[in-house]
Amino acid sequence: MMFRVLATGLTVTGLVALGVGPVRVALDRNPGVAGEPERPPIVLTSSPGAAPAWLTGSVDTVRHLPGDGPRRVAKPERIDLASALEVLEAPDTLSVVGASEDARLPGVGVVVTEAEAEQLVDLDEPRRTRVLTRLVDTGAMGLSVFAVGAAPDKALVVDGDSGPGRQEKLRRASVPVADVVEGWAQLRPDLRALVNRQQVEPAPRTGEVPVAEPREKAWERAVSRVVRREILPALDEGRAPLAPALTTGEDALVLLGDGPVRMTARGAAYAVAARAVQPGSRLLPTRGGEVVDARVVQRPDGRVAVLAWNDGPATTLTVQVPEGDRVLRYRLRLPGRALTAAVLRR
């Protein structure tokens, strides 16, 4: 199996430089075999290597799922510092109280096994392109980090700045996963691949892919477990939240089936987190806001984002962000029993 790059007559091997990649990537499953039809090229973008655009607005795991279009966030009220200090400790008001931490968050992602990569590669066009795009496009699931085979304890990071040696180590770890990552790199030059420094056997994918719908109790319970046990703890430790499975087993993020790709409850939670945590984001210190469990990040694109888990009924969270000698005050409507990501307007 190999990817063939069709870009101004130039053939590129390796990791497509993760951001300097081709316009078209063609997959030939059986090169040189007579009578075997050649797979059509996968066209993920007409501008490979271009910085992805991240939308403002809010998405959540109940009403406005990632990929369905974000809900608009109203412009903030500009207030003076004295007014902001009056509600600094209010439980329904979350206030940024200092500069961002030094540690940069790598983004949100998933472990991809060789079998899962093969499953994606074997999809017929145009479905294959739609599925691959949905997983990484910033307007859809927006995943940014991909671990090969198993979550690494100490990872070798391969990204757009990596040299040929690291790119080759990714390919040696798994040719199918490396092929899929090369395709994704067209859309996401900020993508990172994580390779275990030692040989690690992938964890078995057990159970059936769960099928539940937003607002069902099973969906809410699944989102709650993922947020509390995986996503928020990883962010607090400065790690990338990594889902253990992409398409197979009870921990899968997406359900492929025969129709359009569907997010599981777990997939929705990771996609919402990915909308807030752009790669390179930094956590901001906060006060108040105990009515929900929230994190605020400063993103490389200059925007501030809020990731909030609301375990109770629908509520309104006030967020205060300093800007110069003024404070921007936002009011966010948070659905109940849901994870919400809001990328704030200025």
Q: What pLDDT, on the 0 to 100 scale, is given for residue 3?
A: 34
How far, in Å, CA of 221 to CA of 233, rounded? 17
Cβ(21)–Cβ(306) under 8 Å?
no
Kindly state the DSSP code that residue 105 receives in the 8-state scheme: B
Q: What are the structure tokens assigned to 130, written together?
A: 């739609």
Instruction: Give residue 265's pLDDT.
Output: 97
* Those residues with Cβ within 8 angstroms of residue 84's Cβ, 6 or more apart along the chain or in another chain: 95, 320, 322, 327, 329
Give pLDDT, residue 43. Answer: 64
Q: Would you state the pLDDT for residue 40? A: 55
Per domain, the residue ranges of the chain are: 2-49+106-276, 57-104+281-343
Q: What local confidence, expressed as pLDDT, does residue 13 receive? A: 35
pTM of the model: 0.87
Name the E strands within the chain.
Answer: 2-6, 24-28, 41-42, 57-60, 77-79, 93-96, 109-112, 145-148, 155-158, 192-196, 242-243, 254-255, 262-263, 282-284, 286-288, 293-298, 304-310, 315-323, 326-334, 338-343
Pairing of strands 282-284, 242-243: unpaired
- 152 preceded by a cis bond (ω within 30 of 0): no
Q: What is the pLDDT of residue 329?
A: 98
CA distance 202 to 9: 38
Report the C-alpha gap between 323 and 80 in whole angstroms. 10
In whole angstroms, give the CA distance from residue 321 to residue 304. Answer: 8
Q: The tokens 């392109």 sit on which residue? A: 129
Per the listing, tokens 């271009």 go with 50
Helix, strand, coil distribution of the chain in percent, nearest 5: 25, 25, 50
CA 284 to chain centre: 20
Could you give the CA distance from residue 272 to residue 317 in angstroms, rounded to a whole number?
A: 17
Beta-sheet pairing, 145-148 with 192-196:
parallel
pLDDT in tens, the chain (346 residues): 333 332 333 233 334 444 433 333 333 344 444 444 565 555 677 777 778 889 899 999 999 999 998 999 999 999 999 999 999 999 999 999 999 988 999 999 999 999 999 999 888 888 988 999 999 999 999 999 999 998 888 889 999 889 999 989 999 999 889 989 988 998 999 999 999 987 766 666 767 777 889 989 999 999 999 999 999 999 999 999 999 999 999 999 999 977 788 999 999 999 999 999 999 999 999 999 999 999 999 999 989 999 999 999 999 999 999 999 999 999 999 999 999 999 998 8
The torsion angles phi and psi of 81, rounded to 5 degrees, stand at: -65, -40
> What is the fold of 57-104+281-343?
Immunoglobulin-like (2.60.40)
At residue 228, what are phi and psi to the nearest 5 degrees? -75, -35
